[in-house]
């Protein structure tokens, strides 16, 4: 059977939930027994999201095959429950650089290389590589953006080539409500539909996002302008729990529209389990990218998927100037703390203070990537007394680089896609807390994104395998929970939860399967959310 395509475009504003709608549609179809995959098209000229600032663009999501992707791939993975790969994210940067490389390689010998047909051809070639019964193509940005045009043109060509019956277009827009006049405004939606039509694309479904439920007269108005039946306009009012969206879509019979239109049949009944109750545990993320919640998206969602309320983002830099008493006043109310990944020096001293507080006050703490590296530095400085302990990332001249650049990283000059990236196998050592976290599993396959590593030789005096600890060693020692070529995890024994990992467990959480590190972290907090007793 011919491959089917669902194309999701956006109008009016960006950030209105195209990613969630695409991922939810994917899950809805998956639950009905259809093999579905998503592709996110990012019209920016970056080759990948690796060099983009999380403050503006949100987190960089790392796929299993080591690609630094837009965070929407994280939505796809969590919702659809499948691992995405490099080919599930197409950027204009990738497309143009490969067209230019082909031109230099003589592949188009004799021809004038043009947007149409060469760039559009490259886009189509990449889209064709995605193999699934239904491919959901989400186009980043909003219709009318200059960068997005080439992608829409490529899709228009695909429709001509593959037949209109194999395509379904969903256009998601925002319908603002004007309080002063108590009315919904459909004009921006009308205009964005017109823009889409001008490119030669007729939407089949309008997904109207709004703060409050939209009234039937407005729905009819949108339908009229779009040239579709009113039942093809679906309203998606704001929803606090995004994981409800697949169920809401099912309740609205959204799947019947899709199945009818694309001539697909469901082979199983819809069933969707997602967290609905959220424990009011207070979890603090000591971060430094505070421009948007999206900077720590996968961590926040991992906690949410454990059935716990949204964590609080704390500014690491604010902690830097605080004394012990102030730190206590700020952090005491948190049941547990997370030190997330990050790059560069800013906020480091604040994170170190939070780690010290959690270590000394027995507050559950999970350190991720940079977080683990800092747990080692904090331990060396304050427990062992090596005040000079540092990472060469923060001080390239340091005499005590307990965290140092990986050997093969030293030769790399180019940025983007050059770190230690993607999933790698790592053994989990018996008799460690990590081993219990993983349900006594002896190995794990975890995703990485880092350039620096633990300097094993320098840390040896206090960093030990469980069975080699001797009475003459510092008490306590940091215990290695996992080590491949590099130290992958450290932990403290006499602590409710003090575990750091060099990898990123947050990228592996899926609905129904939050990563065990988050589950165990939360279990260690359970019941202590009010704090104060330690
Ligand atoms: N900056 C650190 C490194 O490159 C940590 C990276 C991260 O937290 N993802 O090793």
Rounded-to-10 torsion of CA 18, 19, 23, 28: -20
Residue with CA closest to ligand 1 atom 8: 341
User: For position 409, what pLDDT does the model report?
Assistant: 79
Helix, strand, coil abundance in the chain, percent, nearest 5:
40, 20, 40
Q: pLDDT, tens digit, for every residue of 35-58? A: 999 999 999 999 999 988 888 889
User: For position 380, what pLDDT does the model report?
Assistant: 98
Q: What is the CATH number of domain 4-262?
A: 3.40.50.300
Give the tokens for residue 208. Answer: 């109207």
Displacement of CA 413 from its chain's centroid (Å): 26
Contact assessment for residue 173 and residue 207, using Cβ atoms and an 8 Å cutoff: yes
Q: What is the mean pLDDT of the chain?
A: 94
How far is it, in rounded angstroms, from Cα 496 to Cα 524? Answer: 6
Lining residues, ligand 1, CB within 6 Å: 341-343, 369-370, 393, 449-452
Q: pLDDT, tens digit, for every residue of 373-382? A: 999 999 999 9
User: For position 527, what pLDDT does the model report?
Assistant: 53
184-189: long-range contacts, CB 8 A cutoff, minimum separation 24: 184/210, 184/214, 184/215, 184/218, 186/218, 186/221, 186/222, 186/225, 188/11, 188/12, 189/11, 189/12, 189/222, 189/225
CATH class of 283-408+416-525: alpha beta
User: For position 356, what pLDDT does the model report?
Assistant: 98
Q: CA torsion sign, 337 to 343 to 344 to 346?
A: negative
How is the chain split into domains, by residue range? 4-262, 283-408+416-525
User: For position 13, what pLDDT does the model report?
Assistant: 87
Pocket mutation for ligand 1, best pick of 373, 402, 486, 506 (most atoms within 8 Å of C-beta): 373
Q: What is the mean pLDDT of residues 321-331?
A: 96
Residue 529 has pLDDT above 70, yes or no: no
Confidence label for 287 from pLDDT (cuts 50, 70 and 90):
very high
User: For position 37, what pLDDT does the model report?
Assistant: 95
Contact assessment for residue 403 and residue 391, using Cβ atoms and an 8 Å cutoff: yes
Which numbered atom of ligand 1 lies nearest the CA of 344? 1
Give the tokens for residue 209. Answer: 């996002």
User: For position 308, what pLDDT does the model report?
Assistant: 95
Q: Strands, E, within 316-387: which ranges?
A: 336-339, 365-368
First-last CA distance in the chain: 63
Common-topology check for domains 4-262 and 283-408+416-525: yes
Which numbered atom of ligand 1 lies nearest the CA of 393? 1
How far is it, in rounded angstroms, from Cα 517 to Cα 505? Answer: 7
Q: pLDDT, tens digit, for every residue of 341-379? A: 999 999 999 999 999 999 999 999 999 999 999 999 999
Strand-pair partners of 490: 480, 500
Pocket mutation for ligand 1, best pick of 343, 417, 507 (most atoms within 8 Å of C-beta): 343
How far is it, in rounded angstroms, from Cα 274 to Cα 187? Answer: 36
List phi, psi (to 5°) of 244.
-80, -20
Q: pLDDT, tens digit, for every residue of 449-476? A: 999 999 999 999 999 999 999 999 999 9
How far is it, in rounded angstroms, from Cα 62 to Cα 60? Answer: 6
Q: Give 341 Cα–ligand 1 centroid separation in angstroms.
A: 6
List phi, psi (to 5°) of 353.
-65, -40
* Percent of the chain residues past pLDDT 70, beyond the cut: 99
Strand-pair partners of 454: 403
Q: What is the mean pLDDT of residues 50-70?
A: 92
Q: pLDDT, tens digit, for every residue of 232-251? A: 999 999 888 999 999 999 99
Q: Give 334 Cα–ligand 1 centroid separation in angstroms.
A: 25
Residue 276 has pLDDT above 70, yes or no: yes
Centre a 10 Å sphere on the Cβ of residue 21 and count the other Cβ atoms it contains.
Answer: 25
Rounded-to-10 torsion of CA 51, 482, 514, 23: 30
Residue with CA closest to ligand 1 atom 1: 343
Taking each helix axis from N to C end, the angle separating 92-104 and 149-162, rounded to the nearest 10 degrees, works out to 80
Q: Give 510 Cα–ligand 1 centroid separation in angstroms.
A: 23
Pocket mutation for ligand 1, best pick of 351, 405, 452, 507 (most atoms within 8 Å of C-beta): 452
Q: Give 444 Cα–ligand 1 centroid separation in angstroms.
A: 20
Contact assessment for residue 249 and residue 25, using Cβ atoms and an 8 Å cutoff: yes
Residue 201 has pLDDT above 70, yes or no: yes
Nearest to 201 by CA among 151, 145, 156, 238: 156
Q: Which DSSP string corresponds to 188-224?
A: HHHHHHHHHHHTT---SEEEEEESSPPPHHHHHHHHH
Residue 534 has pLDDT above 70, yes or no: no
Residue 117 CB partners (closer than 8 Å, separation 6+): none
Confidence label for 195 from pLDDT (cuts 50, 70 and 90):
very high
Q: Give 79 Cα–ligand 1 centroid separation in angstroms.
A: 27
Which numbered atom of ligand 1 lies nearest the CA of 342? 8
User: For position 532, what pLDDT does the model report?
Assistant: 34
User: For position 313, what pLDDT does the model report?
Assistant: 96
Residue 323 CB partners (closer than 8 Å, separation 6+): none
State the catalytic residues. 369, 504, 506
Place of tokens 């620096």: 452
Confidence label for 531 from pLDDT (cuts 50, 70 and 90):
very low
Residue with CA closest to ligand 1 atom 9: 341
User: For position 56, what pLDDT does the model report?
Assistant: 85
Q: Give 523 Cα–ligand 1 centroid separation in angstroms.
A: 27
Q: Give 511 Cα–ligand 1 centroid separation in angstroms.
A: 26
Confidence label for 69 from pLDDT (cuts 50, 70 and 90):
very high
Strand-pair partners of 41: 90, 139
Contact assessment for residue 398 and residue 418, using Cβ atoms and an 8 Å cutoff: no
Give the tokens for residue 422. Answer: 């993607």
Place of tokens 């009011």: 280
Pocket mutation for ligand 1, best pick of 51, 53, 342 (most atoms within 8 Å of C-beta): 342
Strand-pair partners of 421: 449
Q: What is the mean pLDDT of residues 148-161?
A: 96
Residue 10 has pLDDT above 50, yes or no: yes
Which numbered atom of ligand 1 lies nearest the CA of 343? 1
């Amino acid at each position: 059977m011919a491959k089917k395509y669902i194309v999701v475009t956006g109008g009016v504003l960006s950030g209105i939930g195209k990613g969630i709608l695409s991922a939810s549609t994917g899950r809805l179809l998956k639950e009905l027994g259809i093999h579905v995959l998503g592709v996110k098209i990012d019209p920016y000229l970056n080759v990948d999201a690796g060099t983009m600032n999380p403050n503006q663009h949100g987190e960089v999501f790392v796929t299993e095959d080591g690609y630094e992707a837009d965070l929407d791939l994280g939505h796809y993975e969590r919702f659809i429950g499948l691992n995405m790969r490099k080919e599930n994210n197409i950027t204009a940067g990738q497309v143009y650089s490969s067209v230019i490389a082909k031109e230099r390689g003589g592949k188009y010998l004799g021809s004038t290389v043009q947007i149409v047909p060469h760039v559009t051809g490259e886009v189509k070639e990449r889209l064709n590589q995605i193999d699934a019964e239904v491919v959901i193509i989400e186009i980043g940005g909003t219709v009318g953006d200059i960068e997005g045009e080439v992608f829409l043109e490529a899709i228009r060509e695909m429709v001509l080539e593959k037949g209109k019956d194999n395509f379904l277009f969903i256009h998601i827009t925002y319908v603002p409500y004007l309080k002063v006049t108590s009315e919904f405004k459909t004009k921006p939606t009308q205009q964005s539909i017109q823009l889409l039509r001008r490119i030669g694309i007729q939407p089949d479904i309008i997904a109207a996002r709004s703060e409050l439920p939209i009234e039937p007269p407005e729905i009819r108005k949108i339908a009229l302008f779009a040239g579709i039946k009113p039942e093809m306009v679906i309203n998606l009012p704001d929803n606090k729990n995004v994981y409800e969206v697949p169920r809401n879509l099912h309740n609205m019979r959204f799947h019947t529209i899709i199945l009818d239109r694309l001539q697909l049949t469901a082979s199983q009944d819809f069933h969707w389990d997602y967290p609905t109750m959220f424990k009011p545990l207070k979890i603090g993320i000591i971060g430094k990218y505070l421009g948007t919640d999206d900077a720590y998206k996968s961590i926040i969602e991992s906690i949410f998927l454990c059935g716990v309320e949204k964590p609080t983002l704390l500014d690491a830099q604010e902690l830097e100037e605080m004394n012990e008493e102030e730190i206590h006043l700020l952090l005491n109310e948190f049941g547990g703390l997370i030190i997330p990944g990050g790059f560069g020096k800013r906020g480091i001293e604040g994170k170190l203070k939070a780690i010290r507080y959690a270590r000394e006050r027995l507050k559950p703490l999970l350190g991720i990537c940079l977080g683990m590296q800092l747990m080692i530095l904090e331990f060396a400085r304050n427990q062992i007394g090596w005040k000079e302990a540092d990472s060469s990332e923060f001080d390239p001249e340091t005499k005590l680089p307990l965290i140092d650049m990986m050997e093969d990283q030293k030769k790399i000059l180019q940025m983007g896609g050059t770190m230690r990236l993607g999933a790698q196998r790592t053994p989990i050592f018996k008799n460690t807390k990590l081993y219990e976290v993983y349900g006594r599993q002896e190995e794990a396959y975890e995703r990485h994104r880092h350039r620096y590593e633990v300097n094993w030789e320098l840390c040896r005096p206090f960093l030990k395998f469980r069975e080699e600890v001797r009475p003459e060693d510092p008490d306590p020692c940091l215990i290695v929970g996992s080590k491949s070529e590099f130290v992958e995890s450290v932990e403290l024994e006499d602590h409710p939860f003090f575990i750091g990992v060099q990898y990123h467990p947050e990228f592996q959480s899926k609905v129904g399967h939050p990563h065990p590190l988050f589950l165990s972290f939360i279990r260690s907090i359970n019941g202590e959310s009010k704090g104060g007793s330690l």
